[in-house]
Amino acid sequence: MRSPHRTDPHQFSADGSEAPRNPYEELGALDDGPLEVTSLEEFFDEDTTGGGDEEEREPEWSPPVHRRGGRRRRGRFAGLPLAVKAVVGLVVLAAFAGLADRWAVLYAEHRAADALEDRLDLAAAPEVEIGGFPFLTQLADKRLDSVRLTVPDVAADRVSLAKVSATAHDVRLDADGLTSVRGAHIPRLDGDVLLSFADLNRELGASQVTFTGEGRDRVRARGTLPVAGRDLRLRAEATIQRQGERGIATEIGGMRLDIGDLATYRPGTRASDGLHLTPKAAADLARETRRAKALLSVPAIVRRLGMSDATAREALSDEGALTELTGSPRFARQAQSLNLVDLALDNPAVLRSLGLDPDLLDALSRLTRPVLADRLALSFELPEPERGNVRLRDVRVEEDGIRVRLTGSQLAFGSQ
């Protein structure tokens, strides 16, 4: 092989100076001669015979690693200690166990509400809340710490109780699992009954009458009551008291019906009861000669006024005597004391002259004290349980209604 640095005699001219170089000749000088290859396999194959100085083989190609640091990332929790992993696992298991326990509680509450609705013949399913945690261990032990029951409307006598709320303690179950509860035994129960004024106003058939509390044991009724086609203004008071162990009673007092400014009706048999003129109507009567003469012309009325027949005849015949008689305060008081109901049947013309309708007075005569008191009565009685006993305690009047404390013992439901 020729060296590219050897001197070519043709590179110099005849006078000894260096002739111009030919670039193609220089490229030809770089040629090492023909390749000594016997076959293509020898050209592409490497010498693996181990003879001579073997060159170091190139490493086998593999895809580049682009992860940070050039190393495979470890798991998110790979660096956590084993104890921490165990705690995390326990927390997860506890969460799932808690969810299962709460689901079981909801299922049991729903089943209990449906059973009570059917057994007690309620208008709607009650609200049942099972206390204590966890529930499943209580169920396995067949004993519940507490069960709270809320019934929005319970029929009792003439009214519906607005709400009955009670909590049963230490309930023992007769059950073989969550879906096979046959009965329950309740050693102790406490709660309260609320008879709301709103329900009373709606359910007693007297929507025009409103009930409000007045003191610890009194209820005031105010409103209107339709009688013989006229709306009479009603006023009454009721005293609330416990009656026996399961009921409350009301004593109605101060009942009166006002016929405008003309007269006031109080049911009863006392002298102050009946239908009487108001002070304003009695004063107007004393000033009106025509009405005064109408009263004095009836001997029965004269006797009730406490007058003699001679005095009445003189007043009817002499205007001066009539004015002197009716102008005295005594006459107005006597006119107020007249029970006009007693005169309704025998003297209808006199009542018309006073502005009173005989039909209205006839209806009032039938509206006796017991009848009117019954229309305003707030009494009720709790139904007697099949087993055990329930008692009412501490009757009191509050702003929203009548509340009575409820206690019970040794109650049993179902197979117990």
pTM above 0.75, yes or no: no
Q: pLDDT tens across 18-49, in order? A: 555 565 565 555 555 555 545 545 545 555 44
Residue 98, pLDDT above cutoff 80: no
What pLDDT, on the 0 to 100 scale, is given for residue 31?
53
Task: Encode the chain in three state secondary structure.
Answer: CCCCCCCCHHHECCCCCECCCCHHHHHHHCCCCCCCCCCHHHHHCCCCCCCCCCCCCCCCCCCCCCCHHHCCCCCCCCCCCHHHHHHHHHHHHHHHHHHHHHHHHHHHHHHHHHHHHHHCCCCCCCEEEECCCCHHHHHHHCEEEEEEEEECCEEECCEEECEEEEEEEEEEEEECCCCCEEEEEEEEEEEEEEEEHHHHHHHCCCCCCEEEECCCCEEEEEEEEEECCEEEEEEEEEEEEEECCCEEEEEEEEEEEEECCCEEEECCCCCCCEEEECHHHHHHHHHCHHHHHHHHCCHHHHHHCCCCHHHHHHHHHCHHHHHHHHCCHHHHHHHHHCCHHHHCCCCHHHHHHCCCCHHHHHHHHHCCHHHHHHHHCCCEECCCCCCCEEEEEEEEECCCEEEEEEEEEEEEEECC
Q: pLDDT tens across 328-368, in order? A: 888 888 888 888 877 766 777 787 888 888 788 888 888 88
Residue 181, pLDDT above cutoff 90: no
Residue 141, pLDDT above cutoff 70: yes
Residue 398, pLDDT above cutoff 50: yes
Q: pLDDT tens across 55-74, in order? A: 555 666 666 555 555 455 55
What pLDDT, on the 0 to 100 scale, is given for residue 233?
92
